[in-house]
Chain A
Amino acid sequence: EIVLTQSPATLSLSPGERATLSCRASQSVSSYLAWYQQKPGQAPRLLIYDASNRATGIPARFSGSGSGTDFTLTISSLEPEDFAIYYCQQRRNWPLTFGGGTKVEIK
């Protein structure tokens, strides 16, 4: 099973600041990595798929990069609605796995 490790666990930032979230895989997942956003009491929302492709309707301030084992989700300038938990997910191998999440909180 591919283990995805997300860091940091919590990121404390102010609106307008840049957020950089990391996801590291225990073995190569090529570019088969997605990012999701989840707010309290809501279902997850797809942000990025295949490492760098923004999903439909996702603002340009969200971007993804990386390949192999190291991936980054960047939010260029945090908006109030961006404070949430972010998860990465790999689809390279069965079983599909998610990272443990990074909480982006207001500083």
Chain B
Amino acid sequence: EVQLLESGGGLVQPGGSLRLSCAASGFTFTSYDMSWVRQAPGKGLEWVSGISGSGATTYYADSVKGRFTISRDNSKNMLYLQMNSLRAEDTAVYYCAKDLGGGWYIFDYWGQGTLVTVSS
């Protein structure tokens, strides 16, 4: 059974940093691209970042480029999102999501999400 478990969310001041983690199980982690997708309170979905199975290729939304860094540790089946220079508009539930396959960026499994609140 595929499981994705996010952690690391919390309250952080504007300008601060936070590192999100996603523990994956139930599938061959290295074979699949992974993404982070966020959802501001009461709002829609926004794709944030993606990473290839090997970790060699990364993609970012313009809204986070230069501030967020996606990475993965395939030996530990872990996905990460390092978030720096946080802004109020980064407040959201952050989901990690598994690619359906082939680097298609279709998300067939999602974690339960972790809430990041940026506020003073």
| Chain A residues near B (Cβ < 8 Å) | 1, 34, 36, 38, 43-46, 49-50, 55-56, 87, 89, 91, 94-101
Which B residues are CB-close (under 8 A) to A44?
37, 45, 95, 107, 110
- Whether the Cβ atoms of B105 and A96 lie closer than 8 Å is yes
- Whether the Cβ atoms of A91 and B61 lie closer than 8 Å is no
Minimum Cβ distance to chain A for residue B109 (Å): 8
- Whether the Cβ atoms of B105 and A43 lie closer than 8 Å is no
Q: Kindly identify which residue among B45, B50, B60 contacts A98, using a CB–CB cutoff of 8 Å.
A: B45
Per DSSP, are chain B's interface residues mostly helix, strand or loop, or mixed? strand
| Interface check B112, CB cutoff 8 A | yes
CA distance A96 to B108 in the complex (A): 15
Which A residues are CB-close (under 8 A) to B46?
98
| Chain B residues near A (Cβ < 8 Å) | 35, 37, 44-47, 50, 59-62, 95, 100, 104-108, 110-113
Minimum Cβ distance to chain A for residue B6 (Å): 10
- Whether the Cβ atoms of B106 and A95 lie closer than 8 Å is no
- Whether the Cβ atoms of B59 and A87 lie closer than 8 Å is no
> Can you pick out 21 interface pairs between chain A and chain B where the beta carbons lie within 8 Å of each other?
A36-B107, A43-B95, A43-B110, A43-B112, A44-B37, A44-B95, A44-B110, A46-B100, A46-B107, A55-B108, A56-B108, A89-B45, A91-B104, A91-B105, A95-B59, A95-B60, A96-B35, A96-B47, A97-B47, A98-B45, A98-B46
Which B residues are CB-close (under 8 A) to A43?
95, 110-113
- Whether the Cβ atoms of B100 and A87 lie closer than 8 Å is no
Q: Which residue in chain B gives the minimum CB-CB distance to A48? A: B106
Which A residues are CB-close (under 8 A) to B107?
34, 36, 44, 46, 89
- Whether the Cβ atoms of B106 and A49 lie closer than 8 Å is yes
- Whether the Cβ atoms of A46 and B106 lie closer than 8 Å is yes
Minimum Cβ distance to chain B for residue A95 (Å): 5
Beyond A49-B100, A87-B45, whether A96 also contacts B50 by CB under 8 A is: yes
